[in-house]
């Protein structure tokens, strides 16, 4: 009996030690979460892991596409075959819209996808800025972001006016020339109270709000200006509701919007993260959430549909925020998180609810137009969510009877990234400049025309139709990607597969930044 009592006392003592240790660990974790929430900087659990040199190399290459696409007076130009261009953009309305990025292989400045590019780049910096710093690319990322936000600020000259396009797409696509040689008219297009554009105004608000966090500790005045514009644009978007592609019919052939509810929620979620103001949380969790969130029915994340991104972004609140959330709002936050997990479960290849929207080689494949966008968007959300799980010590997600760990989400993201970088049936990299085999006939005007060519609008088409490889390498471009049968036709006229976009690059940069170090 005495021996049993002694053993029982010893066991109790060890139990007490374990409980104390658990409490210490829990308090330490909570402190880390609070610091993470307060500072809103890089992802702490990966900050000191070993750097993956392969992904660091790919990251540095991918970052260069933002330099390739710059309009305006180039500062510290890193691209030998690019010079100043678009210097007169905006002059007809006495605005300086010379900055910003050309959208893809043409010379249009489409505000809707450009703002989405900025939002994604901001998100990547906020989550993985420390990793970017370790590979000496953080300032490059911040500078690329500011090149866009400088443009967006100037494109919003008053509360209820936003210029959403520079150039006429029909005129622009009727030419094949270098941006430095453009001579055609570049008219401006705006949304306003008479011709509303809730979707594009809200996406621009999301870009401004997220970027305000990036620059908060760097330039507080600039950050506050971004936040001011974000709030004004959100108010404009919400008060004057309408699809921009219904207000402005001519944009339907290029960036036709399928709805604006997702952008309103996306913008409000970013404004909540930027400000902590209760009104923005109420916006996404109450009536507008009921109207637009589509809880329980996931959708693909892209420049046109922000719901999956909103769900992951709002999941961060329940994972990492130390603030007390009212019960009703917290219940709806859990619906966002649950819908995010339904989406993520569909990505995992051996999940009971795995999507069939993928190639035999495993790449997420949604459409023959720019399928790499969807693969990288899915991978980006998966790696962010896995890190939210790591950081909050959440061990699993539940997928219709099976449990999956954060590393399962990370491994999915790695599979998409590795496919794009060359582990695919074509044995080629879809990231131009990476690896030994990558596209040589990228659908990109500046890349296809020699630097010393003396061609203009019409006679420049001989370079589009040339059988020679591009004389200029569009380093960092992520092209559209393979067809469902995993083939890729490297032809300059094949814009479905061979045209890069800035938002492709932003999503790829986001995935790579999350992979720079290991958990």
Which sequence positions are flagged as catalytic?
443
| Helix and strand totals (H; E) in the chain | 20, 5
Token digits for 50?
Answer: 């070993």
Whole-number Å distance between alpha carbons of 35 and 435: 39
Whole-number Å distance between alpha carbons of 237 and 240: 6
226, 236, 234: which is closest to 203 by C-alpha? Answer: 234
Token digits for 71?
Answer: 């309009």
Whole-number Å distance between alpha carbons of 463 and 468: 8
430, 470, 433, 467: which is closest to 178 by C-alpha? Answer: 470
| β-strand pairing of 402-404 with 188-191 | unpaired
Token digits for 24?
Answer: 């210490």
- What kind and span of H or E run contains 123? helix 111-134
**SS3 for 165?**
strand
Residue 280 contacts residue 271 (beta carbons within 8 Å): yes
Convert 220-275 into a string of H (helix), E (strand) and C (coil).
Answer: HHHHHHHHHHHHHHHHHHHHCCCCHHHHCHHHHHHHCCCCCHHHHHHHHHHHHHHH
Token digits for 75?
Answer: 């500062």
Number of other residues whose CB lies within 10 A of the CB of residue 352: 11
């Amino acid at each position: 009996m005495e021996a049993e009592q002694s053993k029982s006392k010893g066991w109790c003592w060890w139990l007490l030690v374990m409980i104390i240790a658990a409490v210490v660990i829990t308090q330490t974790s909570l402190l880390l979460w609070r610091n993470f929430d307060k500072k809103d900087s890089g992802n702490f659990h990966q900050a000191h892991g070993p750097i993956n040199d392969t992904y660091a190399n790919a990251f540095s290459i991918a970052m260069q596409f933002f330099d390739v696409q710059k309009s305006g007076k180039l500062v510290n130009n890193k691209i030998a075959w690019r010079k100043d261009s678009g210097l007169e953009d905006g002059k007809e309305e006495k605005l300086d819209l010379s900055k910003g990025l050309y959208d893809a292989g043409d010379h249009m400045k489409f505000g809707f996808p450009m703002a989405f590019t900025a939002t994604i780049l901001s998100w990547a910096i906020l989550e993985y800025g420390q990793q970017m710093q370790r590979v000496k690319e953080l300032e490059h990322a911040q500078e690329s972001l500011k090149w866009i936000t400088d443009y967006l600020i100037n494109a919003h000259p008053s509360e209820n006016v936003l210029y959403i396009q520079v150039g006429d797409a029909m005129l622009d696509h009727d030419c094949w020339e270098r941006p430095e040689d453009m001579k055609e008219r570049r008219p401006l297009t705006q949304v306003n109270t008479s011709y509303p554009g809730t979707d594009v105004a809200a996406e621009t608000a999301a870009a401004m709000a997220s970027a305000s966090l990036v620059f908060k500790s760097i330039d507080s005045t600039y950050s506050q200006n971004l936040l001011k514009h974000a709030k004004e644009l959100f108010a404009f978007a919400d008060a004057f509701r309408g699809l921009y592609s219904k207000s402005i019919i001519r944009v339907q052939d290029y960036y036709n919007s399928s709805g604006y509810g997702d952008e309103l929620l996306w913008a409000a979620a970013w404004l909540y993260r930027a400000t902590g103001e209760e009104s923005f949380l109420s916006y996404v969790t109450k009536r507008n959430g009921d109207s637009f969130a589509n809880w329980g029915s996931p959708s693909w994340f892209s420049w046109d549909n922000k719901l999956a991104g909103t769900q992951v972004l709002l999941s961060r609140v329940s994972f990492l925020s130390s603030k007390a959330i009212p019960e009703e709002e917290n219940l709806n936050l859990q619906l966002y998180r649950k819908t995010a997990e339904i989406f993520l479960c569909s990505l995992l290849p051996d999940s009971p609810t795995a999507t069939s929207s993928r190639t035999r080689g495993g790449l997420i494949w949604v459409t023959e137009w720019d399928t790499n966008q969807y693969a990288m968007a899915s991978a980006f959300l998966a790696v962010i969510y896995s890190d939210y799980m790591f950081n909050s010590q959440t061990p699993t997600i539940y997928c219709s009877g099976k449990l999956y760990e954060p590393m399962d989400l990370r491994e999915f993201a790695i599979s998409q990234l590795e496919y794009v970088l060359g582990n695919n049936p074509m044995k080629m990299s879809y990231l131009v400049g990476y690896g030994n085999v990558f596209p040589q006939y990228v659908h990109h005007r500046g890349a296809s025309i020699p630097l010393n060519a003396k061609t203009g609008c019409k006679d420049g088409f001989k370079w589009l139709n040339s059988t020679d490889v591009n004389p200029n390498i569009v380093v960092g471009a992520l092209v559209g990607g393979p067809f469902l049968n995993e083939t890729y036709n490297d032809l300059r006229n094949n814009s479905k597969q061979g045209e890069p976009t800035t938002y492709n690059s932003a999503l790829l940069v986001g995935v790579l930044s999350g992979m720079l170090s290991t958990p």
